[in-house]
Chain A
Amino acid sequence: MKKLSSKIWLLIVLFLSATVVFMYIFTDFLYEHFYVEDTKIKMVEVGEKLQTMYKGGKVTDELIDAIDNYAAYSNIPIFAVRNPRELSACVPFDVDYDALIGPAERQQLIAGNAVIKIGFEKRFERQIISVILPFTDQNRLEGIIYLYYPLAKISELAKEEVVLLITGAVMFLLVATFFVYQGMRKILRPLANLQQAVNHMAQGEYATRVDVTSKDEIGTLSTAFNQMAQSIQREDEAQKSFLATVSHELRTPISYVKGYSEAIQNGYISDQKRDEAIGLIARESARMERLTNELMQLARKDEKIPLSETEPLVLAETIRDAVSLLQNQAIAKRIQIEQSLEEELIVMGDEEKIKQVFINVIENAVRYSQENAAILIHSKEIGSDAVITVTDSGIGIPAEDLPHITERFYRVNKARSRSDGGSGLGLSIVEQIVKQHHGKLKIESTLAKGTDVIITLPIMEES
């Protein structure tokens, strides 16, 4: 039995069967407990009333007749006995006779007590409840009143209906089995679909999705599966995209370097153009170096960027250092970088890494801003955090790309053009460094209006 549905189905069927059996036993118990007990009490009551008819002495024919007379109108069989043999009076003789009572019961009756028996009685050849009450006079057991009632089991009580009862129980079980089976199939179908989808995923079909039809555990699992599939698909696409970018990015400088170096070697380039060509080769080599560095980071993508020792940093200074490094790029685009910094903000951090954060963010701002635009860098203390906002009025980021902007190799510009110069790793690195410094990175952007990059870093606590 390999299928979960079959196991659950079998379990339910077993449970149902057990319930039917339990109900039968329980009903039987109730019958024994209440019905039998009730009958016993009634019989004792009747017997005790009849017992009062005996006034002592011999048990007379009149008394026997009176009891017989009562019995004719009673639904409980009753009779009075005075034959010594029936009363086990002849014991200790071996009398070859099945007495109504045994020697022990006789002693009990002589003592004036009632005898109540439940069980098979040979005389009546059936299970009975019997109540025996004595007629005693001065230790003499002159006779007994014997009341009995057949102890019919429920099955015996409903002798004609018993076939119907069993058939009903079997039919109920069959119908229940069928519906449980159908129900199980319906409930577990999404699970089967999910299993199929997982198989497809394993074979590399990352576009596979399942229909989510419910909100139960299986529905939640299906949703989670779809999200996982989406992530895998995106990751896969990002990797493919990056590899394409990398190969494209590398191919261009290589062809430059190869072309110019061959041209110089073969003397196709004049002396006055040679320096320019060598400069070009050097520039393209530098680009290749940067690319390969980033590729190294790609190879270590599951590792964290190592932090060197942390130290107290004056945030304003670090920002200014970063700005000064990018000043040339800004000037080239005639972009004004305005700074509004609180000087007192000190954070604990790796100076180089924090500086790289601001370089990456400001570089992005410069890169995606139009010429003559302005970039505003603003820092202030909010609570126990330093909050630095870099605001540009650049091209902005489309809303659908915003959640993924910090993912590795994610490019808003899917054209894989190197025109914007990014490799898709900058913001990913920024986020990782900020997180390592227990800070937060938030990006707010409106397409064609500009972007706010908000970096929150905890202020160093004064000890």
Chain B
Amino acid sequence: MKRTHFILFSLFVFILTGCSDDRFERIDPHQSFVASVNIIEPSITFFDQSANEIALWPLEKAYTGAILVGKDAILLYGHQLKDADLYELSTGKLLKEISTGLGVTNAYFDAQTEKIFITNSKTNELTSYTMKGELQHTVKLHNYPMSMLVSDGKLYVINYKDTILSVISTETMAILDEWVIPKSSHGLVIPTGRDELWVGGHGEGNSPNKTVDIYAQSTGEKIKEILMPLMPVGFSQRDDEIAVVSHGENILYVVNTDGIIEWQLEIGANPFAVAHFKDSLVVAGYDDHSIYFINNRRIQKKVHTEKGPFHLLVREG
């Protein structure tokens, strides 16, 4: 082999290996973070509890959501993508490509059973995987399954374009129950120690939703509703405090488990997500591309993210 050929060949190999390296910036396994999943130009921004940016993962695929899987993995999915990708946080490496098919609406990780649940709007199915991404079960649900929450071995799934909430066994994937709820419901929370399931939502057609509806967890009967205009869709619970974000009015409500609003704060521009992180409440403003850190009922910090923060992921060590 001539010398020039060897150089060219080496360069070619170098470029190929360079291209195939889909590794992201490593995240220290002991680092606590809140990460915003930005979807207008897909990326993930990681912040520490002082609201400093730890890392930025620019994403090349049109991911629309992400969840943490255990302590050291993140699953990225997209409504228009055929695969969901499982990355290891400590190395930034791709662990597994899970073939989901088009139409993934949401993913949920249950730490107790170590299962990943994925809902699909094209097939209207719920599929379970191991935390390594191995396919386990598939069950047919109703129109557009999306919001999910696990409690006491039961997976609650809202069928977004339907009036049915499905209750599924996380072990057997059997459908245990189906409740009647309003159409376009979204967002779930179960207050600790109460036989309640709170359901938020957008509302249907021209009439936006103004309430969080409360159902008896054991029976599925509607018990009451709390007025939280407009469009309460994001929930986060810690101890006796439940944070609800109403994206229609840009308001963060903080209520106790009795459903009594303790305080409220106008925040962000078109926020969809709220999360508890350390001693802060974090709200993501979709339109203003900002993350707000709230302490003592006041905005302590506002930091900019990439465009369109839509989900918040929290890991606390």
- Chain A residues in the interface with B (C-beta under 8 A): 58, 83-85, 89-90, 92-97, 106, 110, 138-141
Contact = CB atoms under 8 A, between A and B. Distances in A.
Q: Is the interface of B mostly helix, strand, loop or mixed?
A: loop
Contacts of B203: 85
A138 B270 contact: no
A138 B249 contact: no
Contacts of A85: 202-203, 206, 208
B250 A140 contact: yes
Given A84-B231, A89-B247, A89-B270, A141 B287 contact: yes
Nearest to A86: B206
A92 B248 contact: no
B269 A141 contact: yes
B310 A92 contact: yes
B200 interface: no
A84 B247 contact: yes
B144 A94 contact: yes
Contacts of B186: 93
Given A110-B269, A140-B288, A141-B270, A83 B184 contact: no
A91 to B, nearest CB: 9
B54 to A, nearest CB: 25
Interface string B275-305: 0000000000101101000000000000000
A96 B186 CA distance: 14
A106 B270 CA distance: 11
A138 B230 contact: no
User: Which 3 A-B residue pairings sit nearest by Cβ, starting from the closest?
Assistant: A139-B288, A139-B269, A84-B248
A83 B206 contact: yes
B105 to A, nearest CB: 8
Contact of B287 (A58, A83, A110): A110
Given A85-B208, A92-B310, A141-B269, 11 more contacts: A58-B249, A83-B206, A84-B248, A89-B270, A90-B247, A92-B39, A96-B161, A97-B206, A106-B287, A139-B287, A140-B270
A115 to B, nearest CB: 15
Given A83-B208, A92-B64, A140 B269 contact: yes
B121 interface: yes
Contacts of A110: 269, 287-288
Given A85-B208, A110-B269, A138-B269, A93 B202 contact: yes
Contacts of B121: 94
Nearest to B184: A95
> What bracket does the count of chain B residues touching chain A fall in?
20 to 34
A139 B310 contact: no
Contacts of B144: 94
B250 A97 contact: no
B207 to A, nearest CB: 9
Interface string B219-259: 00000000000110000000000000001111000000000
B18 interface: no
A90 B202 contact: yes
Contacts of B193: none
A96 B144 CA distance: 12
B176 to A, nearest CB: 27
Nearest to A90: B202
B317 interface: no
Contact of A84 (B160, B184, B230, B268): B230
Interface string B180-221: 000010100000000000000011011010000000000000
B168 to A, nearest CB: 22
Contacts of B161: 94, 96
Q: Which of A58, A89, A106, A139 has the most CB of B within 10 A?
A: A89
A95 B247 CA distance: 14
Interface in B72-88: 79
Nearest to B231: A84
12 contacts: A58-B249, A84-B230, A85-B203, A90-B202, A92-B310, A94-B160, A95-B202, A97-B205, A106-B287, A110-B269, A138-B269, A139-B288
A339 B284 CA distance: 133
B315 to A, nearest CB: 24
A94 B287 CA distance: 17
Contacts of B287: 89, 106, 110, 139-141
A140 B268 CA distance: 8
A89 B248 contact: yes
A58 B250 CA distance: 10
A275 B285 CA distance: 150
A90 B230 CA distance: 11
Interface in B20-45: 39
B104 to A, nearest CB: 12
Contacts of B249: 58
A140 B250 CA distance: 8
Contacts of A97: 205-206
Contacts of B268: 140
A95 B183 CA distance: 11
Contacts of B208: 83-85
Nearest to A140: B269
